[in-house]
Amino acid sequence: MKGGGDKVEAEILEPYQLSCSDLLDRKRCQLISRNVMEALGPNGPGLLCITGVLGSATLLRRKLLPMARKLALLDPDKRNRILKEQHLGSDVPLKNPERLVSSFAMHLHYQPPSSNSSPWYDHGCGVGNTLDEDDDDDFNNLGLVFKELGFCMMELGLSIARVCDREIGGGFLEGTLLDSCTAKGRLIHYHSPADQSFLREAAQRRRKQSGKCINGSHFNLWQQWHYDYGIFTILTDPLFLSSHSCQDCNLIASHSYLRIYHPSKNNFYMVKTPQDSFIVQIGESADILSNGKLRSTLHCVCRPEQLEHISRETFAVFLQPKWSHTFSVSEHTTMEHIRSGSLQRRPILDTDEVSKADIHNIVPPLSSRIRDGMTFAEFSRETTKQYYGGSGLQSNR
């Protein structure tokens, strides 16, 4: 990515690639557990990618991701009907035609397989076996595909938790996830400037009002810098779509346009992931539960410059504790001081196209959002408030 007065190319980070077959083989898994902790621990970037996922996960991804753009650009009444039929909601204001992101969400309630049943990776995900990649019935299986891919990704998260627990000890991560058995799935469409113009014009036609056109070339981040606050975030490798030419998509296909800050290297990186891989990011709850032995990932999503017709589609599953889970943070203070000190020494530069302000003017520090004895529900509310509430640091961004 380039930006600012001085055009500077972002450095590329290729995360540790963990083979799904290694992750699921208990003997081989012991051999790679240290590599996993190096990637997810305090000296790593806080993320890795899983390759070679078996079953129907790849087909489900290819079926689901294009639906994000179609849903985002639908007539609002038709979209509301489809979302209701498919048991989906949204956690962004879809009535705002100038939004950068459209998100379609569902709470996923996971049932661990019984000891007598075959695991998902042996037989594939159920609905995936009936899918035809050329099926034109766009939204008929939307809810089913959403859930099946979500459950596959939850299984990946649980497998990562087992690996981390083996190194950390105590079994807290897997136990906390199984105690919750709940995650939030989000199908996300990152709007191109052309998409924004389309939505503005459609809104004006509906309201019979006139207004100035959107010039989308001025926004450079699809999503502002932040930490996820759950335990793990599992993401699909993104899909890029063009309303003009597939050549534009080919130009950026090797990049995720996920950008992270790597504290131990004191540097920003653009993340490059293999096609059809799944990205695992550490959230702040894992940071707390592990007493800093896992490190949450500060990240944003960048928009490709000078490609006004490119949109980005992804599916994210946020694995979290149950809402009533109570945090103990007394032993976490040291890790918070390390993180805060590192960020204070490195302000975000003009070339990063964020702000001249220090990172703490954009991201509320964890120490201001968590206290000993706080439940996950309280932590979630306080975090949302400090980021996006009326006086939140990103309320007007």
Each residue's pLDDT tens digit, 335-350: 454 455 444 444 444 4
Each residue's pLDDT tens digit, 139-171: 999 999 999 999 999 999 999 999 999 999 888
Query: Mean per-residue pLDDT for 357-383?
Result: 88
Helix axes of 172-180 and 142-168: crossing angle, nearest 10 degrees: 150
Please name the amino acid found at residue 303: R
Strands (E), the chain: 11-13, 17-19, 47-51, 101-109, 182-190, 221-226, 232-236, 239-242, 258-262, 267-271, 278-282, 298-302, 310-319
Task: Kindly report the average pLDDT of the chain as a whole number.
Answer: 82
Structure-model confidence comparison of residues 356 and 181, the more confident one = 181
Please name the amino acid found at residue 281: Q
What is the DSSP pairing of strand 258-262 with strand 310-319? unpaired
Contact between 176 and 321 under an 8 Å Cβ cutoff? The reply is: yes
Query: Of 103, 83, 299, 93, which is closest to residue 185 (Cα–Cα)?
Result: 103
What pLDDT is attached to residue 47? 97
Contacts of 265 (CB under 8 A, 6+ apart): none
Question: Would you give the DSSP letter of residue 22?
Answer: H
What pLDDT is attached to residue 352? 47
Q: State both tokens at 133.
A: 């990649």
Residues in a beta bridge with 233? 281, 318
What pLDDT is attached to residue 26? 80
Whole-angstrom distance, CA of residue 336 vs CA of residue 259: 22
Per-residue confidence band for 362, with pLDDT thresholds at 50, 70 and 90: confident
What pLDDT is attached to residue 338? 41
- Least confidently predicted of 41-45, 178-182, 199-203, 333-337: 333-337
Structure-model confidence comparison of residues 287 and 98, the more confident one = 287
Per-residue confidence band for 309, with pLDDT thresholds at 50, 70 and 90: confident
Residue 334's H or E segment, with its range, is helix 333-345
Q: From residue 204, give the alpha-carbon distance in Å to each of 98, 99, 128, 200, 208.
A: 12, 15, 40, 6, 5
What pLDDT is attached to residue 174? 95
Per-residue confidence band for 98, with pLDDT thresholds at 50, 70 and 90: confident
Per-residue confidence band for 25, with pLDDT thresholds at 50, 70 and 90: confident
Query: Mean per-residue pLDDT for 231-251?
Result: 80
Surface-to-core class of residue 6, CB atoms within 10 Å of its CB (0-12 exposed, 13-18 middle, 19+ buried):
exposed
What pLDDT is attached to residue 304? 82
Per-residue confidence band for 20, with pLDDT thresholds at 50, 70 and 90: very high
Alpha carbon 78 to chain centroid distance?
27
Structure-model confidence comparison of residues 279 and 341, the more confident one = 279
State percent of the chain over pLDDT 90: 57
- Indicate the pTM of the whole model: 0.86
Torsion sign across C-alpha atoms 373, 377, 380, 386: negative
